């Protein structure tokens, strides 16, 4: 069909159909007049036939257009339209009959012209009814089409087209060729009539209505067919439009499909509830499997699940028992049940303390026989998520053994799907929460970076450079500097035990302790004692901090050093051209949390020379491992510093870090925070 909406094709076709019909009436009247008066009207019967075919064609176009416009309408509307057309056609036929009965044997009653006009009206209505109904059947047959059905239909359409022009071949005689054609078309019709896939989609009520409408269509076509036959038998007519193969085959087709539909619908009535049930189950399943949006809640899923289970098992009442640990609240946990009845039923079902942890025996749906005056059977469905039971659904029926295998299987599927939905929902929420923690950690990382000084205090007489890297987002390594006066500088490096967030908190405390105590002008050992006392109050029992502190006096070219359990500092001495780790006793901070700590820390003063280096580090450097499992270790560091002593602190630091990375390699690991601080005494003050 041409899809030009600007042209009112339906109306044009209707107008043409009416015009052709008028022409047909006129032509036939002229022909009858000729026959009665034995005159040659000069119009051959082929003109009638051509007009008839044209009429069929335009009526077909009209209804095709109507169907195209209403192709989305439901079955009932369409069938009702067919039925109403049939009623109208049959009604008009019966009315004609009545009129003729009232005429009796009067002159009007036998007038061939009037008779002919009525005949043409009836013919028009019959054709309209048959063609529209045939198009309706086409719509129904092709409802769930596949290639084979479409082919079948095309064969039928083509043979109907042939039947349309059959009249030229057969000259409207009722002979064997006519019968042969009719039989073939009827066979094709019956073959098509088994395509009834639309019927199961009707619900019970719709099926009843359909039966009524189909009955009306069958009745109408019966009445119309009877009238056509009686016309054909009455000899008073010289022009016969209706003994036409096309029309007869249409009758056959309309009647055959109508009858099949009627019978199949009728026999489908008792089982239609099953189909409806299956459809509801499919819809429920789909509802359950839609993942819950983060802003929605799990209760809604449980609600849908309870309803679905009830309808799938035809339960008389039901409730949902929630695991008290799950903090869930279902708005309406009881269905068709009051609280006292539920309590009495629950006492029958859960006789002992029901465990909410899942074991293999409770994961299955469980059918239970009840000893209750009204309710006789129960089905228990546990909803298991992550090995714990989220809730139990209890379905109750008034009949004994009311739950069959199919019900239990479909309900089991529902329950599993609901669990998956809830689990997905939880995972999604977890993922969102994780995302937020990641963000928080990034903030922590930024804050912690700011705790390490960007600018290290130092005079012109020494250079200093520091580097720190964390194993996790945040870490426990610490270094800092402080200028006491123009000649006195304090440098500290610390390492909190463990790593990660807890270490990072303690590292922040260490910074606070250093920055407060160092203002008091404490000597290194005194600083350590005070720091130990302060940290003892704030470190967790199994945490400690190691530290190395240097107080550098640039005026006397000395440094005073104390070590609290920290990795010894490497001192490169330019004069001897060798490096050594400064050995001095000292216990880590926070290990002994009382006055006796003062016995465990010592300080010592050393003279330094121009060109000397101090390399402070944390154990992460020494404990870097290569793929053979060897440690980076003290000796490797010592040799590297001796080899690169001429470098400036930033360059030496870079060289050491590069060597460490090279040593560890791609497969090795540094699973700890590691830091490095290099001081080079460049010139005397």
Partner 1 sequence: MLRIEKTKEDNKDILRLIGEVDASNSVLLDQSIQEVVHQGTSFLLIDGQELGYISSAGLGVFMSYLDDFSERGIRFAIFGLNDQVGEVFKILGLDRLIAIVPDKSTAIASQHES
Binding site for partner 1 (CB under 8 A): 495, 497-500, 541-544, 546, 564-568, 585-588, 591-593, 600, 619, 631, 671-672
Output 276 or 623, the one with its CB closest to partner 1: 623
Residue position matching structure tokens 């040659």? 40
Cβ at position 478, least distance to partner 1 in Å? 14
Cβ at position 548, least distance to partner 1 in Å? 11
In this structure, the dihedral spanned by the alpha carbons of residues 537, 538, 542 and 548, taken in order and rounded to 10 degrees, is -90
Output 43 or 444, the one with its CB closest to partner 1: 444
Do 190 and 136 form a contact (C-beta atoms < 8 A)?
no
Do 450 and 509 form a contact (C-beta atoms < 8 A)?
no
Output 333 or 565, the one with its CB closest to partner 1: 565
Output 383 or 637, the one with its CB closest to partner 1: 637
Farthest-apart Cα atoms in the chain, separation: 153
Cβ at position 503, least distance to partner 1 in Å? 9
Residue position matching structure tokens 């000069």? 42
Which among 667, 531, 671, 673 is positioned nearest to 597, based on CA atoms?
531
Output 209 or 600, the one with its CB closest to partner 1: 600
Output 20 or 616, the one with its CB closest to partner 1: 616
Output 318 or 547, the one with its CB closest to partner 1: 547
Cβ at position 421, least distance to partner 1 in Å? 35
Do 616 and 660 form a contact (C-beta atoms < 8 A)?
no
Cβ at position 500, least distance to partner 1 in Å? 8
Residues 6+ apart with CB under 8 A from 554: 459, 461, 462, 487, 488, 489, 685
Output 240 or 501, the one with its CB closest to partner 1: 501
Give the tokens for residue 553: 């006096």
Cβ at position 541, least distance to partner 1 in Å? 5
Q: How many CA atoms lie within 13 A of 235 on its CB side?
A: 0
> Which residues are registered as beta bridge partners of 493?
479, 548
Phi-psi region of 473 (alpha: psi -120 to 50; beta: other; left: phi over 0): alpha
Q: Which helix (H) or strand (E) holds 107?
A: helix 107-110
Cβ at position 595, least distance to partner 1 in Å? 14
- Compute the distance between CA of residue 558 and CA of residue 567 in angstroms, rounded to an integer: 21
- Compute the distance between CA of residue 128 and CA of residue 168 in angstroms, rounded to an integer: 22
Cβ at position 587, least distance to partner 1 in Å? 3
Q: How many CB atoms lie within 10 A of CB 332?
A: 10
Provide the 8-state DSSP code for 462.
E
Output 32 or 584, the one with its CB closest to partner 1: 584
- Report the residue count for the chain: 685
Output 200 or 668, the one with its CB closest to partner 1: 668
Q: How many CA atoms lie within 13 A of 593 on its CB side?
A: 13
Cβ at position 476, least distance to partner 1 in Å? 9
Output 6 or 583, the one with its CB closest to partner 1: 583
Cβ at position 331, least distance to partner 1 in Å? 43
State the SS3 of 142-201.
CCCCCHHHHHHHHHHHHHHHHHHCHHHHHCCCCCHHHHHHHHHHHHHHHHHCCCCCCHHH
Cβ at position 638, least distance to partner 1 in Å? 15
């Amino acid at each position: 069909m041409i899809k030009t909406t600007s042209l009112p094709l339906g109306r044009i076709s209707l107008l043409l159909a009416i015009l052709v019909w008028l022409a047909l009436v006129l032509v036939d009247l002229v022909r009858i007049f000729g026959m009665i008066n034995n005159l040659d009207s000069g119009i051959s019967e082929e003109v009638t036939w051509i007009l008839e075919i044209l009429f069929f064609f335009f009526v077909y176009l009209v209804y095709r257009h109507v169907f195209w416009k209403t192709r989305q309408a439901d079955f009932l509307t369409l069938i009702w339209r067919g039925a109403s057309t049939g009623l109208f056609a049959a009604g008009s036929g019966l009315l004609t009959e009545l009129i003729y009965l009232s005429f009796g044997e009067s002159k009007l009653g036998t007038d061939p012209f009037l008779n002919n006009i009525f005949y043409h009206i009836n013919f028009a209505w019959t054709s309209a009814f048959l063609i529209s109904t045939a198009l309706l059947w086409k719509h129904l047959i092709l409802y769930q089409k596949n290639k084979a059905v479409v082919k079948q239909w095309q064969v039928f359409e083509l043979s109907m087209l042939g039947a349309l022009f059959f009249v030229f071949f057969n000259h409207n005689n009722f002979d064997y060729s006519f019968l042969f054609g009719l039989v073939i078309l009827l066979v094709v019709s019956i073959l098509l009539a088994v395509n009834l896939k639309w019927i199961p989609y009707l619900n019970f009520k719709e099926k009843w209505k359909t039966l009524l409408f189909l009955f009306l269509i069958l009745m109408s076509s019966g009445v119309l067919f009877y009238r056509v036959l009686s016309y054909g038998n009455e000899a008073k007519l010289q022009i016969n439009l209706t003994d036409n193969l096309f029309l007869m085959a249409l009758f056959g087709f309309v009647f055959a499909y109508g009858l099949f539909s009627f019978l199949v619908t009728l026999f489908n009535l008792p089982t239609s509830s099953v189909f409806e049930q299956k459809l509801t189950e499919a819809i429920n399943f789909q509802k359950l499997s839609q993942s819950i949006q983060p802003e929605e809640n799990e209760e809604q899923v449980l609600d849908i699940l309870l309803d679905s289970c009830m309808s799938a098992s035809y339960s008389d009442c039901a409730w949902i028992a929630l695991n008290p640990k799950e903090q869930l609240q279902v708005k309406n946990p009881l269905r068709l049940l009051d609280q006292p009845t539920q309590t009495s039923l629950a006492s029958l079902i859960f006789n002992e303390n029901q465990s909410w942890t899942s074991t293999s025996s409770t994961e299955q749906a469980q059918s239970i026989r009840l000893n209750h005056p009204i309710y006789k059977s129960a089905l228990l469905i546990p909803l298991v998520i992550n090995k714990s039971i989220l809730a139990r659904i209890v379905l109750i029926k008034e009949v004994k053994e009311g739950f069959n295998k199919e019900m239990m299987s479909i309900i089991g599927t529902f329950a599993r799907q609901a669990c998956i939905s809830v689990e997905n929902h939880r995972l999604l929420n977890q993922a969102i929460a994780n995302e937020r923690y990641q963000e928080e950690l990034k903030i922590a990382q930024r804050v912690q970076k700011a705790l390490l000084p960007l600018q290290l205090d130092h005079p012109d007489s020494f250079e200093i450079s520091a580097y720190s890297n964390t194993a996790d987002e945040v870490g426990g390594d610490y270094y800092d500097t402080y200028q006491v006066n123009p000649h006195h500088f304090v440098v500290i490096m610390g390492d909190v035990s463990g790593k990660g967030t807890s270490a990072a908190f303690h590292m922040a405390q260490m910074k606070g302790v250093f920055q407060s105590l160092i203002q008091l002008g404490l000597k290194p050992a005194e600083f350590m004692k005070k720091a130990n006392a302060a940290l003892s109050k704030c470190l967790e029992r199994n945490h400690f901090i190691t530290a190395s502190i240097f107080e550098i006096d640039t005026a006397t070219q000395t440094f005073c050093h104390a070590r609290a359990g920290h990795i010894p500092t490497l001192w490169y001495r330019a004069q001897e051209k060798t490096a050594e780790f400064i050995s001095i006793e000292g216990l880590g901070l926070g290990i002994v949390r009382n006055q006796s700590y003062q016995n465990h820390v010592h300080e010592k003063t050393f003279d330094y020379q121009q060109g000397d280096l101090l390399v402070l580090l944390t154990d992460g450097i020494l404990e870097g491992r290569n793929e053979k499992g060897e440690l980076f270790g003290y000796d490797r560091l010592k040799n590297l510093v001796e080899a690169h002593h001429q470098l400036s602190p930033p360059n030496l630091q870079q060289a050491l870090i590069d060597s460490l990375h090279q040593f560890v390699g791609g497969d090795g690991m540094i699973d700890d925070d590691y830091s490095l601080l290099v001081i080079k005494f460049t010139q005397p003050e």
